[in-house]
Each structure stands twice: as C-alpha cells, then as structure tokens.
A and B are shown apart, each in its own frame.
Chain A
Amino acid sequence: MTDRATIIRGIVAEHGKLAVDVATIADADSLYGAGLTSHASVNVMLALEDEFDVEFPERLLKRATFESILNLRGALDALLGAD
C-alpha cells in the first residue's frame, strides 16, 4: 500500500504547478518557496479531498496547512488517524 506521504507527493506533483521537481523537495520544505500559488493550493486541496474521500474543515484551510508536505500529512493524519 502506498503511504500517505507518497500519495501527497503525487498530488502536489500533479496539481501544485511547482517551479521545481517535487522529488527535490524535502517533506519539511516550503511549498510556497517552491512556487505553490494560492490558486494551485486550491487544486491540491481538492485532489486530496477526492483521493482520501475526506473534507478538510475550515480550520485547516489556511496557508500553514499547505506550507509543506509534512503539514499536509499532519492535516490528513488528524482527519483520518495515522496510517
């Protein structure tokens, strides 16, 4: 089974429109620093909601959630329980 971090990376690669290859980004690196725009972050969120069949509550729809793959992972873990 593919772990969450890998799935998140795939989604960020597909929808994040980053300026760099996702493979070169560490889990804690800033996605905004890598070129994630506010528009692209909406698409990342939608794809994550679809993939994990979950809705991110309002309190998680903040810049900090999208700051890094680690933070996205943390948000999903909080919603789904650790995988």
Chain B
Amino acid sequence: MLHHALHTPSVAELLEAVDKIAREVVGPAAASVDAESRFPSESIGALRDGGFLGALVPAQYGGLGCSYADVAMMCTILGRHCGSSAMVFAMHQIQVACLVEHCQGVPHFDTVLREIALDGRLLASATTELGVGGDVRSSICAVERDGDRFRLEKNASVISYGDYVDDVLVTARKDGDAAASDQVLVHVQRPGLELTSNGTWDAFGMRGTCSIGYLLIATGDVAQIVPVPYSELSERTMLPVTHILWSSLWLGIADGALDKARIYVRAAARKNAGTVPLGARHLAVAQAKLEAMRGNIESAITEFDAVRREQEESPSLGFAIRMNDLKVTASTLVVEIVQTALLICGIAGFRNDTPFSLGRELRDAHSAALMVHNDRITEHNASLLCIAKDV
C-alpha cells in the first residue's frame, strides 16, 4: 500500500497512482458495471489497496493527509472513466470529511479514522428517510438512549452501495423528544448494524452505485454519536464537500466525454487539412463550459478551505448560496457538455459499440440534477436571497 511506502508520496505521485488505477481498473470495468448494474468492486478494491479510501485522513492516523483539492482531482480523474465508481468514491470521502472535520480527538472516532486509513473501511451515508419528502434536514427516526447504549431504527429510502459498506453515518433526531430538525449524525457498524434491503436498483444511469433502500437497525455506545449537531456539521462540511466532490466527478464525466469529441475532431481535421471540421465549433463552446465548471470548483474549494480555518465564525449566507450554486451549475453544465460531445461524435457517439459511444456518460450525467434535486436547491437559494445582502 502506498502509505506504507518508505517515502511520503507527493501529491503528483498520488494523482498519478489514481490515474493509473482509473485507466487500468476503473475504465475497463465501467461497461460491465453499467450493463449489470453492479457495484464496482474492482475499482473500489484497487483504490482501497492504494490507501485512497483514507485519502482525507490526516497522516497521524495513518492516512494520506490529502487536501480537499487533491481529493476533488481524484474524483475528476475517476469520473473520466466511470461515473459510478467516482460517485461511490466521492460519497465515501464526504463521510470521511465529516469525521475528519468534527471528530478528531474523540476516542471512538480516532479509532475509526485509523481503521479507515489502515484497513480501508468503506463508509456510506443514510441521510434520506421514507416519509420526510426528501428533506434530509429533518428526521422521523430518533436515537433511543438507554444509559450509555443506544438503539436506532431508520427506514432509509436510499443507502448507496449499502450491501458493500463497512460503516454508515446515519442522521436521526437526537432523542425521542427532539424536534424533526434537531438531528445528530451517528456512526454505526457491524455487528451493531443490520441492513435489510427493500428494493432494487435498476436506473438508467449511475447504475453501479446500487442505491437501494434499507431498513437500518443499529445498536451501539452513545460515544458513536458525532459530538456536533448535524445542522452545524451539514452547513460547515457535509453540504459543501458534497457539492465540491460531486461537481468534481461530474467535471470528470464531462471531460471524459469531451475527450472522445476531441479525438473525433482532430481525426476529422487531419483528413481535411485547411478546413475547420463542423464539430470543432461545438468543441470550442463545450471546452469553454468545461473551463467554467473547473473554475467554479476551484473557487469553491478556496472558499471552503477558508471557512474550515475559521472554526469560531459560522459560515456566511453567501457561502451557502455559492456552494448551492456550484452544484446547480455543474449539474447543468455536465449534461450540456456531454450532449455537445454527442453532437460532435454524431452516430459514432450514439452507437453503443464504437470508441466514441457516449450513452453511459449521458445517462450518468442526467443523475446530477436529481441528486438533491436542483429545484429544491434553487428554492432554498431563492429564500436565502430574500435576506442576504453581500453576495
């Protein structure tokens, strides 16, 4: 494993290693992951073996100690080759980020962080719940406390890759008397975790995420409850990191699709030197959108890193608005860019049996607007803009 190497690998070496995994393992598996709607075991296995499931875990716990910018780039690299693998990787990293930012120094979580780094435990999220209408900031289920022990039962509408997870971070009301919005995040793991699936995942995109519903029943020690209210953790970390890493992998999907279009255009240009191929204009427009997408992500990471450093100060409304805007814009641009790549590659892109096939990328891209629906996010921003001043 990389983190056992004699020297501390540089960021460039780490990104190169992820790129190698993406080209040699993730990309070759992508078609069968998509066709069979199966978990990308080989992709996640290779990333685990490389120590990348502990990418965000600080070095003192045995992790790679990568920055958010580094992990965002990893998501982009993976997204170029397989949207589902990149999404599983991103969702895992989002959970790790919550523990890294809010749980260091808490004995139970120090152990968890070490295990993520050294054993490559895979984390998933159970924030959605049947009956709350898609609002992850409210819960029906509650942590039922009994002395130092708790029990938690949640009808989770989705736990992506739930059959393959080691640990789950679950939202719930902090106790039986708490209001729906008064939530905590609870770390649960086997043997104190029982997941019973109650559905199938046969979607037209992101088929490898295996995003099915589960009845989750967990027991454990109250030390497994994240010591910060979920409202604060969500605002400071989970929401911004989610939007940054999702946008980064969508950038990868867009860039992967556009790369097929670039090859197509260059080949056409060579055949007819002196004439700019028809598709080249489309390529120029799509390339500009790709750069806008990348710029949005970079500026969001810069702002997020600044907010992280200011632990005493709660983030501004402008920060929340901009993180939301990042998601809405990136999820819109990824579809536009992949569609443009399809226009450029034409029938070769439409067919499923050419090097230019774009079906999977286009189908995966369409999930972006729906994962935390853009309508919900835009409505939230609309309401914030009724009071925000300096944005």
If A35-B182, A36-B181 touch, whether A58 touches B383 (CB-CB below 8 Å) is no
B64 nearest CB across to chain A (Å): 32
- Whether B235 contacts A58 by the Cβ 8 Å rule is no
- Whether A57 contacts B389 by the Cβ 8 Å rule is yes
Contact partner, A58, options B137, B231, B388, Cβ 8 Å: B388
- Whether B380 contacts A62 by the Cβ 8 Å rule is no
Q: Once bound together, how far apart are the Cα atoms of A17 and B7, in whole Å?
A: 56
A64 nearest CB across to chain B (Å): 5
If A32-B231, A61-B317, A63-B314 touch, whether A42 touches B178 (CB-CB below 8 Å) is no
Quick one: which of B178, B229, B389, B390 has the most chain A CB within 10 A?
A: B389
- Whether A61 contacts B231 by the Cβ 8 Å rule is no
Q: Once bound together, how far apart are the Cα atoms of A38 and B384, in whole Å?
A: 9
- Whether A37 contacts B181 by the Cβ 8 Å rule is yes
- Whether A32 contacts B181 by the Cβ 8 Å rule is yes
8 Å CB contacts to A: which residues of B189-245? 229, 231-232, 235
- Whether B390 contacts A32 by the Cβ 8 Å rule is no
Q: Does B387 contact A (CB under 8 A)?
A: yes
- Whether A46 contacts B386 by the Cβ 8 Å rule is yes
Residue ID in chain B nearest A20 by CB atoms: B179
Residue ID in chain A nearest B182 by CB atoms: A33
Residue ID in chain B nearest A33 by CB atoms: B182
Q: Once bound together, how far apart are the Cα atoms of A18 and B178, in whole Å?
A: 11
8 Å CB contacts to A: which residues of B306-336? 313-318
- Whether A42 contacts B314 by the Cβ 8 Å rule is no
- Whether B232 contacts A35 by the Cβ 8 Å rule is no
Q: Does B128 contact A (CB under 8 A)?
A: no
- Whether B181 contacts A61 by the Cβ 8 Å rule is no
- Whether B179 contacts A58 by the Cβ 8 Å rule is no
- Whether B318 contacts A35 by the Cβ 8 Å rule is no
Contact partner, A34, options B179, B231, B317, B388, Cβ 8 Å: B179
8 Å CB contacts to A: which residues of B359-390? 380, 383-384, 386-390
Q: Does A76 contact B (CB under 8 A)?
A: no
Residue ID in chain B nearest A41 by CB atoms: B387
Q: Once bound together, how far apart are the Cα atoms of A77 and B178, in whole Å?
A: 30
Q: Does B269 contact A (CB under 8 A)?
A: no
Residue ID in chain B nearest A42 by CB atoms: B383
Q: Once bound together, how far apart are the Cα atoms of A63 and B318, in whole Å?
A: 13
Q: Does A51 contact B (CB under 8 A)?
A: no
- Whether B316 contacts A61 by the Cβ 8 Å rule is yes
Residues in B whose Cβ lies below 8 Å from that of A63: 231-232, 235, 314
Bitwise interface map of A from 35 to 61 toward B, beta carbon under 8 Å scored 1, else 0: 111110010011001000001111101
- Whether A35 contacts B387 by the Cβ 8 Å rule is no
Q: Once bound together, how far apart are the Cα atoms of A38 and B229, in whole Å?
A: 14
B131 nearest CB across to chain A (Å): 16
Residues in A whose Cβ lies below 8 Å from that of B179: 18-20, 33-35
Contact partner, A61, options B138, B182, B388, Cβ 8 Å: B388
- Whether A19 contacts B386 by the Cβ 8 Å rule is no
Q: Once bound together, how far apart are the Cα atoms of A61 and B231, in whole Å?
A: 15
Q: Does B2 contact A (CB under 8 A)?
A: no
Q: Does B17 contact A (CB under 8 A)?
A: no
If A34-B179, A35-B181, A63-B232 touch, whether A42 touches B316 (CB-CB below 8 Å) is no
Bitwise interface map of A from 4 to 44 toward B, beta carbon under 8 Å scored 1, else 0: 00000000000000111000000000001111111100100
If A35-B182, A36-B181 touch, whether A58 touches B384 (CB-CB below 8 Å) is no
Residues in B whose Cβ lies below 8 Å from that of A18: 179
B233 nearest CB across to chain A (Å): 12
Q: Once bound together, how far apart are the Cα atoms of A12 and B384, in whole Å?
A: 18
Report which A residues bind B (CB closer than 8 A). 18-20, 32-39, 42, 45-46, 49, 55-59, 61-64
Question: Told that A32-B181, A38-B380 touch, could you supply 5 new A-B pairs with CB distance under 8 A?
Answer: A35-B179, A42-B384, A46-B386, A58-B316, A63-B231
Report which B residues bind A (CB closer than 8 A). 137-138, 178-182, 229, 231-232, 235, 313-318, 380, 383-384, 386-390
Q: Report the 10 A-B pairs with minimum CB-CB distance, sorted nearest first.
A: A35-B179, A19-B179, A58-B390, A62-B314, A61-B317, A58-B389, A37-B181, A63-B314, A42-B383, A45-B387
